[in-house]
Amino acid sequence: MTFVIRDAQGCIKTFMEISAGVMLDAGDTLEEVPVPFGAYASRLRLLADGCVGELVKVPAGSGTIEVRVECPGETSVALAINGLEETVPLVDGKGALALSRETPGVFLIKPVDRRKYCAAGEALCVVEVTA
């Protein structure tokens, strides 16, 4: 079982396996979802350099770094890359996007649909291109 906390707009703030001791902010709601925690957490996975849910640093240079996108059961998923929306097509729930390594900076990738996916854990990807 998974417990989901949503804000007043219905966006997922966080989710957990146990709801004991949860203190909700004003307007937040607690929802029980009949899906095992691991399966719920893996509904959207963003992997950079084989890593999920952590900062990935890559040196600046020519070429790209690939971010693999896994979203079982979906044919596409909308992601925000530094606030700009991009729809990633998926085949058998899998796809990829390429990020340029030419200019140092940070790429923050998260789901656009915050009512469906939480922008945390495996559904959040941060790639830093270092000088």
Q: What is the pLDDT of residue 8?
A: 97
Task: Give the per-residue pLDDT at 4.
Answer: 98
Residue in this structure with the two tokens 């140092």, named with its chain if needed: 104
Section 74-92 average pLDDT: 98
pLDDT at residue 97, rounded to an integer: 96
Backbone CA torsion sign across 78, 102, 67, 56: negative
Residues 87-116 pLDDT 10s: 999 999 999 999 999 999 999 999 999 999
Q: How far is CA 17 from CA 84, 112, 117, in A?
A: 32, 24, 16
